[in-house]
C-alpha cells in the first residue's frame, strides 16, 4: 500500500507542471509520516442522495460512499488489487466446492450493542436472499442454504461451486446489519435507520441535504477511526461541490470528472489524490441485430478507436486505456488480451470491406446529454469517421437511455456508457456476457465456451486457477468483440491539506479507513 501511495504521488508530481503543486505533493509525503491524530469532523461533499441506507434495499453504486462508513463487510478487499482479505469474517474456506465456511470475528458488536455472531450473520444471509425488497438476491443466487455451525461459524451450502463468494461478501451482500434493529423497525428495513458494525454509527439523514455519522467507540479495529465523525453535505452539482471545498466549507470531494482537475490545481489550498479504478467507459453492443451481429464490424470498431488519444482528449489523460474489462493492476488482468486491439485503422477498413459495410453508413448509438458524454461522442465520431463508420448519437438522460437500450425497446445498436465494476470479476462478465443477462442488450446467445469459462472462473477458489479461467473469459469476450472498452477512469479525490491518510482504491468507491485530520 505504501508503494501505491508513493506511486500516486510521483505520478502526480510528473503530471503537474506547476512547481508549487509539486511542493505540496512532497509536503504531503512528509506529513504522511507524522503520527495520526484522533479527533475532528471530516466534512465530505457527496454528489448524490443515497437511494437507501439499508444495504439490502438500496440500488445505486454511489450509496457505498455512505454505506462503507456505517457497515463493515464480512470480507474486505485489498485497496490496490481488490483481492479479498479478512473483515468481519476472520477466515473462510471451502471444505468442498459447494460448502463455504465462514469464521466470524469474536467480540464484535453492532452499534445498538447486540453481538455480531453466527446467528446475526445467518439472519443477514437469509434476509438478503428472501426479503421482497432485497436488491441483492442475485448476488446470493448460488447460496442454497445457510446454517449456524458454531457460535462464531456459519456454513453456506451452494448449489454450484462459487469461488466468487469471498469477493461478493466484500460488497452489499457482506454488509452486516443488526437483526434486532431490522426486527424493531416498522418498515422492516433500515433504509432510514441504519444500524451496522462499521467504524461510524448513524446520527441523522436529511434527504438531499446532509448525512451525519459519529465514531463507533467500540469499533473492532484498533485505534480506528481517527475522526470523531463524518458529515456528508449532499451537493449534486460537482462544480459547486468543488467550490465548497475550495472555500473551506468541506474538506473532501470524491469521484470528480477529470476536467475538474484543472480547476482544483488552480487552487493552492487543495491537493488531489488519484488512482485507477474498475470504472470503465465503454460502448455496449447489441449483437442480436445488424450491424453488430457481424463480428467483423464489431472488430472493426474496436480496431478503429485510438484509445490513447481518446484518453488524452476526453479524460485529460487521467485514465487508463481499456482493452478489456479489467485494468492493469487488477489481480485477474491478462496482459496478452490487451494486445488484441491496438489502434489499426487499416485493419478496421479491411474488416468493414469484407463485411460489405458501405463506407460512411451511419450507426445509431445511445448516450447521455451531459457535457462530458458529448465530448466523448465527438471524439469517437471523428475517430471512426476516418475508418468509414458514421456514428449518430441519440442522447437521453441516464435512466431513459439505459432503459431504451437494455430494456424492451432495444433502441440503437450500441450504448456509449460505463460499467462500474464489481468486487469479483466473474460478476462483471456474467452480467454482460451471458445469454439472458440484463446488460446483454440484445439477449443474444454467446459461444457456449464463453458461458462455460465464466462458470469455470467461479469453480475454484485457487487464485491461480481463477486467474487462468479469467484469462480465457477475457480473451473470448474480446475475440468476439462483444464490447468496445474505451478507458478506465481514475478516482479523482480533492481535499484540503488538513486531510491525511486518504488512499484511493481500485473499486473507486471511497473508503476512509486511515483518514485523519490535522488540527
Partner 1 sequence: MARRSPAKVIGSRLLQALPVILLATFMVFSLLKLVPGDIAVTLAGDNATDARITEIRRVYGLDRPFLVQYGAWLGNAVQGDLSQSLLSGEKVATSISRAFPNTLLIVAIALLLALATGIPMGIVAAIKPNGWVDKIVSMIASLGVAIPGFWLAMILVAEISLKLNWLPATGAKSFGVSPLEAIRHALLPGIAIAAYGMAEVARQLRGSLLEVLSSQYVRTLHAKGLSMTRILWQHGLKNVSVNLFTIISLLVNRMLAATVVIEAVFAIPGLGSLIVRGAIQRDFPIVQGVVFTMVIVVITVNLIADLLCAAVDPRIEQ
Given the rule CB under 8 A, which residues bind partner 1? 49-52, 58-61, 132-133, 135-139, 187, 191-192, 205-210, 233-237, 240-241, 243-244, 246-247, 249, 396-397, 399-400, 402-404, 407, 420, 427, 431, 436-438
Which of 7/438 has CB closer to partner 1? 438
Which of 210/347 has CB closer to partner 1? 210
CB of 436 to partner 1, least distance (A): 8
Q: Which residues on adjacent β-strands are paired with residue 272?
A: 494
**Euclidean distance between CA atoms 385 and 380, whole angstroms:** 8
CB of 198 to partner 1, least distance (A): 19
Which of 262/399 has CB closer to partner 1? 399
CB of 488 to partner 1, least distance (A): 18
**333 Cβ contact list (under 8 Å, min separation 6):** 324, 326, 327
Residue 297 region by backbone torsions, left for phi larger than 0, else alpha for psi between -120 and 50, else beta: alpha
Which of 437/459 has CB closer to partner 1? 437
CB of 238 to partner 1, least distance (A): 10
- The answer to whether 121 and 104 are in contact (CB under 8 A) is yes
- The answer to whether 52 and 58 are in contact (CB under 8 A) is yes
Listed residue (436, 487, 476) closest to 452, CA to CA: 476
Which of 15/431 has CB closer to partner 1? 431
CB of 308 to partner 1, least distance (A): 29
Which of 210/312 has CB closer to partner 1? 210
CB of 30 to partner 1, least distance (A): 28
Helix/strand/coil percentages in the chain, nearest 5:
35, 25, 45
- The answer to whether 421 and 277 are in contact (CB under 8 A) is yes
Which of 16/396 has CB closer to partner 1? 396
CB of 466 to partner 1, least distance (A): 21
Distance of CA 18 to the CA centre of its chain: 31
Q: Nearest 10 degrees: CA dihedral of 201, 203, 206, 209?
A: -70
End-to-end Cα separation, the chain, in angstroms? 25
Amino acid at each position: 500500500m505504501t508503494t501505491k501511495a508513493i506511486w500516486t504521488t510521483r505520478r502526480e508530481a510528473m503530471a503537474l507542471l506547476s512547481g508549487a503543486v509539486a511542493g505540496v505533493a512532497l509536503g504531503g509525503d512528509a506529513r504522511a509520516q507524522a503520527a495520526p491524530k484522533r479527533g475532528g469532523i471530516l466534512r465530505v461533499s457527496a454528489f448524490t442522495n443515497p437511494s437507501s441506507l439499508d444495504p439490502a434495499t438500496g440500488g445505486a453504486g454511489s450509496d457505498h460512499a455512505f454505506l462503507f462508513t456505517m457497515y463493515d463487510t464480512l470480507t474486505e478487499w485489498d485497496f490496490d488489487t481488490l483481492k479479498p482479505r479478512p473483515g468481519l469474517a476472520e477466515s473462510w474456506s471451502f471444505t468442498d466446492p459447494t460448502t463455504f465456511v465462514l469464521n466470524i470475528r469474536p467480540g464484535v458488536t453492532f452499534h445498538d450493542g447486540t453481538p455480531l455472531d453466527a446467528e446475526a450473520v445467518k439472519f443477514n444471509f437469509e434476509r438478503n436472499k428472501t426479503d421482497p425488497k432485497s436488491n441483492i438476491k442475485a448476488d446470493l443466487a448460488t447460496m442454497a442454504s445457510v446454517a449456524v455451525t458454531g457460535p462464531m461459524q456459519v456454513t453456506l451450502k451452494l448449489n454450484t461451486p462459487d469461488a466468487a463468494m469471498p469477493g461478493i461478501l466484500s460488497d452489499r451482500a457482506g454488509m452486516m446489519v443488526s437483526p434486532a434493529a431490522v426486527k424493531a423497525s416498522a418498515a422492516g428495513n433500515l433504509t432510514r435507520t441504519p444500524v451496522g458494525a462499521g467504524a461510524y454509527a448513524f446520527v441523522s439523514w436529511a434527504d438531499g441535504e446532509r448525512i451525519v455519522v459519529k465514531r463507533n467507540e467500540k469499533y473492532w479495529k484498533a485505534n480506528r477511526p481517527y475522526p470523531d465523525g463524518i458529515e456528508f453535505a449532499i451537493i449534486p452539482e460537482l462544480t459547486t461541490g468543488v467550490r465548497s471545498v475550495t472555500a473551506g466549507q468541506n474538506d473532501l470531494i470524491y469521484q470528480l470528472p477529470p476536467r475538474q482537475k484543472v480547476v482544483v490545481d488552480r487552487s493552492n489550498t487543495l491537493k488531489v489524490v488519484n488512482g485507477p479504478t474498475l470504472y470503465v467507459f465503454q460502448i455496449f453492443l447489441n449483437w442480436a441485430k445488424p450491424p453488430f451481429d457481424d463480428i467483423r464490424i464489431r472488430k472493426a470498431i474496436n480496431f478503429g478507436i485510438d484509445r490513447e488519444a481518446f484518453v488524452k482528449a476526453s479524460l485529460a489523460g487521467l485514465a487508463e486505456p481499456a482493452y478489456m474489462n479489467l485494468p492493469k493492476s487488477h489481480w485477474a488482468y491478462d496482459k496478452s488480451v490487451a494486445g488484441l486491439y491496438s489502434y489499426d485503422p487499416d485493419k478496421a477498413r479491411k474488416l468493414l470491406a469484407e463485411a460489405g459495410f458501405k463506407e460512411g453508413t451511419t450507426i445509431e448509438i445511445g448516450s447521455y446529454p451531459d457535457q462530458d458524454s458529448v465530448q466523448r461522442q465527438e471524439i469517437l465520431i471523428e475517430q471512426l469517421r476516418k475508418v468509414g463508420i458514421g456514428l449518430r448519437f441519440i442522447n437521453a438522460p441516464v435512466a431513459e437511455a439505459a432503459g431504451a437500450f437494455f430494456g424492451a425497446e432495444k433502441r440503437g445498436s450500441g450504448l456509449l456508457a460505463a460499467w462500474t465494476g464489481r468486487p469479483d470479476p466473474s460478476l462483471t462478465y456474467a452480467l454482460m456476457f451471458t445469454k439472458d443477462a440484463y446488460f446483454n442488450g440484445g439477449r443474444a446467445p454467446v459461444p457456449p465456451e464463453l458461458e462455460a469459462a465464466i462458470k469455470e472462473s467461479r469453480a475454484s477458489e485457487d487464485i491461480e486457477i481463477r486467474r487462468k479461467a479469467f484469462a480465457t473469459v477475457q480473451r473470448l469476450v474480446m475475440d468476439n468483440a462483444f464490447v468496445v472498452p474505451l478507458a478506465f477512469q481514475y478516482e479523482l479525490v480533492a481535499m484540503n491539506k488538513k486531510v491525511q491518510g486518504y488512499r484511493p482504491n481500485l473499486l473507486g468507491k471511497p473508503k476512509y479507513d486511515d483518514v485523519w485530520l490535522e488540527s
